[in-house]
Structure 1
Amino acid sequence: MTSSWVQKVVRPKFLKTVVERLAFKMATKGDKILSVFDFDETLIDCDSDDWILKLCPGGQVPEWMWEKHRQRHYMEFLEHFLQYLHDNGVTPKHTLEFMAEAPYTDGMEDVLKFIGKNRDKFDCVIASGANTLFIEATLKARGLEHAVNRIDSNHGHVDDKGRIHVWAYHKHVCTICSADICKGALLSEYVKEQAQKGVTYTKVVYVGDGRNDFCPCKGLGCSDVVMPRKGYKLLERIEALTPENRLKAKVVPWEQGSDVLAVLESFL
């Protein structure tokens, strides 16, 4: 009699509590913070295209190459330059090893190490107008590749003749970003893809420096954080906004990696 009463009254109530707890865990287990980083002048303390020019035989880029650069056709310029290196005996191995020596911005290695140690709380994306080969080279040289979920950048490839090729991502074009890549569209796509996998982001922290970082920042909400580098174009553009056009996200300027680290640590 007692056993039957327990089975009919107590057990269903207990099971309901368990189900409710499991449902809550399932609903929240995918909640994370998304950190997004530009590469040139943000993760590294230089422009990768300028850095690689130091490899030029004779120390000076031929004048005939500069026209593409002046026209802001950076991928075409870099493709010509990499062909020039190949023709002068500079191997892909030498090129990427040299790229790996590009200096990281003070404190940024610590930021990526922190993210790598807290992968249960953070996802990390690099959104850059550089190229995947250069970015991967710098990450692997420092053992930081495990901290990054995805690299959205222009394409890079080494062919079977030992020649590096680069070409524009150019999946999207907007009036704010460069012709090569639209960071705003890529960020939006990534968030949607993750949501389909059950991962939702309670907050996005965007860290950048240049004009083409403004596009993704425009789409962020009031719970998100935009971190423009002090003394660079992104901050200038944000500060020039009128009150009615200001960003919804909180704006926190940074000078070095420790500033970014402090913001990420505050969310734990």
Structure 2
Amino acid sequence: MSNIVIVFDFDKTIIDCDSDEWVTDQLGFTDFFNDFLPTMPLNSLMEIMMMEFHSHGKTIEDIEKVLHRIPINQRIISAIKSAHALGCDLRIVSDSNTFFIDTFLKHLGISECFSEINTNPGYVNEEGRLRILPYHDFNKASHGCPLCPPNMCKGLIIDRIQSWISERNNNKRFIYLGDGAGDYCPSLGLKDRDFMMPRKNFPAWDLICKDPSLVKAEIHGWSDGEELEQVLMNLINNIMIEENAQLISSNCKLQSLSIPVAIDF
């Protein structure tokens, strides 16, 4: 097991589209979606969209078939499998939902690559309708972050993951990959030994570029699946080389201390 934790966003990072928009468009409800989008948080709108799908006879199987067709660059799948094989701890932090993400990852056969998925709850109720709920129940209390949508602050999620991991191994280093405005907040919580990989010319990239000094982590941009794989694997390899060099140096020092010294009388 390596000392590397890799956190992926899902929409427009692992996949090459927004899953909410993809499902809505593919099922023929684009106009309804666009009419209501300016009036409420996206997470709340998706719960309404699920009601609309159900009332028009769209089944869970219909939604699953659409999810199976989501576009993804094969090089991203390769990067995920390679990072997992090298012992990295892969996690997802996404403003999508558990049903969409689980369905897609299982279809590709890469669910086992991820140790944790943090996203909005999504489940099928007794009526056979998909329910989409907020990660943070903002009807009860606000998460208090002005940078993030009311249903999810990714920064708070990263804080929790960092705290949990640091109690067990303080040498872990984070690599965070994301594209959206919601990925800016967690970038501010990364440490100087960590790495931020924003997608170039997307909202997270634009926000970081306004004042890169606010992000303590090293910033490495990427444009597409090919560049994502190249940058990510280079970072992983460099971290592992550095860790191996430190381990060898430490072992050499210990061995030199244990060598008996001959004393002449």
Q: Fold-level match, TM-score > 0.5?
A: yes
Q: Is the 8 A contact 1:96 1:133 kept in 2?
A: no
The 2-side partners of 1:153 and 1:214 are apart by: 16
Pair 1:35 & 2:6 matched: yes
Tell me the alpha carbon deviations over residues 116-166 of structure 1, each in whole angstroms, 9 at most, x when there is no partner: 2123xx111111111111111111111111110111111101012211000
Q: CA deviation at 1:228?
A: 0.6
Q: Is the 8 A contact 2:83 2:233 kept in 1?
A: no
The 2-side partners of 1:72 and 1:106 are apart by: 34
Q: Is the 8 A contact 2:158 2:189 kept in 1?
A: no
- TM-score, normalization: structure 2? 0.81
The 2-side partners of 1:161 and 1:124 are apart by: 34
Pair 1:189 & 2:160 matched: yes
1:112-151 counterparts in 2 under 5 A?
112-119=80-87, 122-151=88-117
The 2-side partners of 1:265 and 1:142 are apart by: 25
The 1-side partners of 2:237 and 2:61 are apart by: 37
Q: Is the 8 A contact 1:44 1:105 kept in 2?
A: yes
Tell me the alpha carbon deviations over residues 22-48 of structure 1, each in whole angstroms, 9 at most, x when there is no partner: xxxxxxx8x621101111111100001
Pair 1:159 & 2:125 matched: yes
Match of 1:207 among 168, 177, 192: 177
Aligned to 1:4: none
Pair 1:83 & 2:51 matched: yes
The 2-side partners of 1:91 and 1:138 are apart by: 17
Identity percentage over the alignment?
A: 27
Matched position secondary structure for 2:172: strand
Q: CA deviation at 1:180?
A: 1.2
Q: CA deviation at 1:201?
A: 4.5
The 2-side partners of 1:173 and 1:135 are apart by: 26
The 1-side partners of 2:44 and 2:182 are apart by: 18
Q: Is the 8 A contact 1:34 1:201 kept in 2?
A: no
1:79 and 1:204, CA in 2 relative to 1: closer, same or farther beyond 3 A?
same
Q: Is the 8 A contact 1:46 1:103 kept in 2?
A: yes
Count of residues in correspondence between the two structures: 231
Amino acid corresponding to residue 179 of structure 2 in structure 1:
D
Aligned to 1:73: 41
Q: Which has the larger displacement, 123-132 or 97-106?
A: 97-106
Match of 1:168 among 129, 134, 138: 134
The 2-side partners of 1:214 and 1:201 are apart by: 24
Aligned to 1:50: 21
Tell me the alpha carbon deviations over residues 3-61 of structure 1, each in whole angstroms, 9 at most, x when there is no partner: xxxxxxxxxxxxxxxxxxxxxxxxxx8x62110111111110000111011243xx344
Amino acid corresponding to residue 89 of structure 1 in structure 2:
G
The 2-side partners of 1:149 and 1:170 are apart by: 21
Pair 1:267 & 2:257 matched: no
1:240 and 1:106, CA in 2 relative to 1: closer, same or farther beyond 3 A?
farther
The 1-side partners of 2:60 and 2:233 are apart by: 34
Q: CA deviation at 1:210?
A: 1.0
The 1-side partners of 2:148 and 2:69 are apart by: 28
Aligned to 1:107: 75
Q: Is the 8 A contact 1:206 1:226 kept in 2?
A: yes
Unaligned stretches of 5+ residues in structure 2? 138-142, 241-265
Tell me the alpha carbon deviations over residues 65-84 of structure 1, each in whole angstroms, 9 at most, x when there is no partner: 64541134112211111111
Tell me the alpha carbon deviations over residues 59-105 of structure 1, each in whole angstroms, 9 at most, x when there is no partner: 34454x64541134112211111111112221112202311221124
